[in-house]
Amino acid sequence: VNTPDSSCNQCHTATVQSWLASGHLQPLYSGIKETVASGGHYNATSCAVCHTVGYAQYRTATNANGFSDVAAAEGGLKFTQGDPDPATSLWGTNPKASKLIGIQCENCHGPQNSAGHMVSGSLSDLGTLTVPVGNSRVSYASEVCASCHGRAMNHARYQQWVLGAGPGKFSHGNHATYTFNADETTGALGNCQACHSAQGFAAWRKTLPNSPAYANTAVPGLTVSNAQPITCVACHDPHNEGDADMVEAGNLTKVGATEGSTYVLPGGFQANGVGKGALCITCHNSRTGMITAAPYSSTAPGYNLHEDGTTWAAFATPTSYSAPHEACQGDVLMGRNAYWLGADKYNSTSTRSKHSYITDTCVTCHMDLTDPSPYGAAGQKRHDFVATLDICNTCHTAYSGEAVQTAFDAQLKIVKQAVGQAILRLKYNDSIPAGTTAVLVANRQGQIDVTTSGVTRRWFISTRANNDAFLTDPNNNGALVQGCAGTATLASCTGYLAGVATPTATTLALTGSNVAISSTGVNAVIAKALWNTVLVQDDASRGIHNPSFTANVMGQSVSHVMNFTP
């Protein structure tokens, strides 16, 4: 067994220096410092298993170099519970065993004399975007952390991470988050790896200071067979895990020039003053705002904002039925990327949620204030990230989270019906056949459910130019949506509005209306309404993240589609 001061420090000086001030060095000392009166109960036999190097229980081969062996040779670990300076005391009574105190390099990377020690690729290589793939000594798997952080009940963060948002959900620990987006032939993850895999995110965040683009974050050799989901090391720096004597304060990876802020994100905006929530928002945004690479300027911002603003080309009217990426909580929290709020609301504090000013934003509500997880002790930060509704009453007493969500659900239903009705007006030039209704399906494909004579069938709104994975109609026993034929790898589908002639303003009787329909079936007003609806729906908080913003977005959407105002 080797120690950083005698071996690792020779080559990994910067990493070791960071580790010396981290929580991974401190837990044994911190446990001894706790007084009996305050609940201190540190036990060298049970607690030292995780808090030292080479404890006998964790060894795979018999030797006499581990902590438990060396401490025994010194007559046992000599400490007093409540000692305010245990480091000084132990280095005096147990100088050899003290060299093996803390979670050191070999706890996570294995013995120095392993075959993988000198294999190319290490965490330090991330500065050059070379992420280790196939290195037996470097793993992004959360199971490495779980050997200590998976001990129920007091250390059960791993169990919470595995559960995530609940059974069947796309939680951080669900491998489907990247396998779902992989190339079915090669297994490559492509651009999706930046937010959907631990290795991809580690590479991507190194490029964020210069550009939010995913294109230059490819990890050679990374496929579904060796990728990891969003694991512990994606969010936490294992070499700087918290402050000395503050084991619970995990140090998060940096995603902005200053603490609590992000760089420009794929959604086309920055989130400033959001504390630890900056890390969450880095992936939890609409992710469809990039159009050019850095450098940026006031006249060429380099991103495409889906909102009303200046004369920048970035605010152009959409020409297709695009929609925000799922998990666009950052946009809603910051009040960004919604149409029809007015140019004066661009980047305005009037649309930003008051919740975004809470210390550490996402982390405060989803980890700190919410009820303890059944898989962890009270006082732990929840790592399944489930926020229970009762936390609303921590600050609000006049209304409940349930009431906000009920109102949101009712308004969202109205929006979808209004957009469906507007599509029918375009389709039939305001002469809608009796018994025909339509409801917007708010998803990234731009679909509607059209009901005629009591039979409901799903359509794409416009012609699909590319393959699409979501071609089945749940109203028709999983058959292909209407306008499509053949297999699920179809290159195109004829949309509901494709080939429909632009209605005349005289027939619609709408002065100044924007009823133009492209040859593929795109109407600018409907396109904006689709974006807005998906934005507030896929935020998934049902209005709680930013109640006034979401209500305004939905209200404006209904108003504009009713009159086809641009």
pLDDT the model gives residue 39: 79
pLDDT the model gives residue 61: 58
Rounded to a whole number of angstroms, the CA Rg of the chain reads 28
* Confidence band of 377 (pLDDT split at 50, 70, 90): low
More confident call, 153 vs 386: 386
In the predicted structure, residue 413 carries a pLDDT above the cut 80: yes
In the predicted structure, residue 281 carries a pLDDT above the cut 90: yes
How many angstroms separate the CA atoms of 239 and 161, rounded?
20
The secondary structure of the chain in percent helix, strand, coil, rounded to multiples of 5, reads 35, 5, 60
Q: Is 373 helix (H, G, I), strand (E, B) or coil?
A: coil
Among candidate residues 458, 539, 33, the one with its CA nearest the CA of residue 281 = 539
The single residue listed with the structure tokens 């579904």 is 224
The single residue listed with the structure tokens 């204030």 is 369
pLDDT the model gives residue 400: 87
Cis preceding-peptide flag for 167 (omega within 30 of 0): no
- How long a stretch of residues is the chain? 566
In the predicted structure, residue 247 carries a pLDDT above the cut 70: no
* Average pLDDT, integer, range 139-161: 82
Side-chain half-sphere CA neighbours of 330 within 13 A: 30
Contact 228, 161 (CB under 8 A): no
* Average pLDDT, integer, range 22-28: 81
- The 10s digit of each residue's pLDDT in 262-277 is 998 989 889 999 999 9
* Average pLDDT, integer, range 172-195: 81
More confident call, 185 vs 1: 185
Q: Which residues pair with 55 in a beta bridge?
A: none
Percent of the chain past pLDDT 70, that is, above it, reads 81
Contact 458, 442 (CB under 8 A): no
In the predicted structure, residue 554 carries a pLDDT above the cut 90: yes
Q: Which residues contact 291 (CB under 8 A, 6 or more apart)?
A: 302, 303, 304, 314
β-strand pairing of 455-460 with 447-452 = antiparallel
How many angstroms separate the CA atoms of 349 and 341, rounded?
13
pTM: 0.88
Percent of the chain past pLDDT 90, that is, above it, reads 35
The single residue listed with the structure tokens 């005629």 is 452
How many angstroms separate the CA atoms of 157 and 148, rounded?
9
Least confident of 52-61, 228-237, 264-273, 524-533: 52-61
Per-chain mean pLDDT for the chain = 83
The single residue listed with the structure tokens 């058959």 is 479
* Element containing residue 534 per DSSP (H, E): helix 524-538
Q: Is 395 helix (H, G, I), strand (E, B) or coil?
A: coil
Query: Per DSSP, which regions of 297-452 are E strands?
Result: 436-441, 447-452
More confident call, 85 vs 38: 85
pLDDT the model gives residue 285: 95
Q: Is 540 helix (H, G, I), strand (E, B) or coil?
A: coil
Least confident of 28-37, 166-175, 325-334: 166-175
Q: In a 10 Å sphere around its CB, with 0-12 CB exposed, 13-18 middle and 19+ buried, how is residue 117 labelled? A: middle
CA distances from 282 to 154, 171, 231, 514 (A): 30, 16, 15, 36
Q: Which residues contact 413 (CB under 8 A, 6 or more apart)?
A: none
State the DSSP code for 504.
P
In the predicted structure, residue 351 carries a pLDDT above the cut 90: yes
* Average pLDDT, integer, range 207-221: 76
In the predicted structure, residue 93 carries a pLDDT above the cut 80: yes
In the predicted structure, residue 248 carries a pLDDT above the cut 50: no
How many angstroms separate the CA atoms of 90 and 252, rounded?
30
pLDDT the model gives residue 150: 80
Contact 240, 324 (CB under 8 A): no
pLDDT the model gives residue 215: 64
* Confidence band of 284 (pLDDT split at 50, 70, 90): very high
